[in-house]
């Protein structure tokens, strides 16, 4: 197994550690969940670059890399729904996951016809936006845990508390909209795959 594939595999291995740390609500586990997610995101940046630069592209990498991305991102979004403090409705995450199923399904149909659909700029921007949203929300969870655990929330201004309270919902709304739009664009662009006999 080459270095690029090892980085992809590491990203998948980090997911359970990320979820467990996210499930524990204190300052230290919030630090850990943010750190683990950032490390996993960095592996996402470099595994593809290494594979292309050194000619290490493989069938495993083409399959596991996007799968690892989806597992990491959707695990974060699903867990966010279970946190009442974030005010994130389940339907947003359902739309995001549904979009991934549709796009993955179209890619599989294309592969069955011998067509390889390369990653588009819009798709890369979507993933970057999703990861950025998750990192910001994890940082907000860390700040909230710090303020609560050290009993200094009473000294923070109301406007600051409102920003902490509703920024996750605003970010998720934008992320959901962008994710759905790129999904619709992808489906329209490749709809001929579904119409061929």
* Confidence at residue 156, expressed as pLDDT on a 0 to 100 scale: 62
CATH code at 3-195: 1.20.120
Average the pLDDT over 29-58 and give the result. 85
* Confidence at residue 118, expressed as pLDDT on a 0 to 100 scale: 66
* Confidence at residue 152, expressed as pLDDT on a 0 to 100 scale: 58
- The burial class, CB within 10 Å (0-12 / 13-18 / 19+), for 22 is buried
Residue 153 has pLDDT above 80, yes or no: no
Alpha carbon distance, N-terminus to C-terminus of the chain: 39
CB neighbours (10 Å) of residue 47?
25
Single pTM value for the model:
0.88
**pLDDT for 101-149, tens place per residue?**
888 888 878 877 777 676 677 877 888 899 999 999 999 999 989 888 7
Residue 154 has pLDDT above 80, yes or no: no
The residue ranges of every structural domain in the chain are 3-195
Structure-model confidence comparison of residues 64 and 154, the more confident one? 64
Do residues 46 and 7 touch, judged by C-beta distance below 8 A?
yes
Residue 197 confidence class, pLDDT cut points 50, 70, 90: low
Helix spans in 82-151 (H) = 90-112, 121-149
* Confidence at residue 28, expressed as pLDDT on a 0 to 100 scale: 93
**pLDDT for 17-38, tens place per residue?**
999 999 988 899 999 999 999 9
């Amino acid at each position: 197994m080459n270095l690029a594939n090892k980085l992809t595999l590491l990203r998948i291995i980090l997911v359970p550690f990320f979820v467990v740390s996210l499930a524990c609500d204190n300052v230290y586990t919030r630090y850990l969940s943010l750190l683990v997610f950032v490390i996993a995101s960095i592996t996402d940046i470099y595994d593809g670059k290494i594979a292309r630069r050194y000619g290490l592209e493989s069938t495993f990498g083409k399959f596991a890399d996007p799968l690892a991305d989806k597992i990491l991102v959707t695990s974060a979004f699903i867990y966010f729904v279970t946190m009442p403090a974030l005010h994130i409705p389940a339907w947003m995450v359902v739309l995001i996951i549904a979009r991934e199923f549709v796009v993955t399904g179209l890619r599989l149909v294309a592969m069955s016809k011998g067509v390889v659909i390369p990653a588009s700029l819009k798709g890369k921007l979507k993933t970057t936006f999703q990861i950025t949203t998750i990192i910001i929300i994890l940082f907000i969870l860390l700040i909230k845990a710090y303020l609560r655990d050290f009993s200094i929330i009473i000294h923070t201004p109301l406007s600051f508390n409102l920003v902490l309270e509703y920024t996750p919902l605003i970010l998720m709304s934008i992320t959901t909209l962008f994710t759905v739009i790129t999904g619709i664009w992808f489906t329209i662009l490749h709809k001929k795959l579904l119409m061929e006999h």
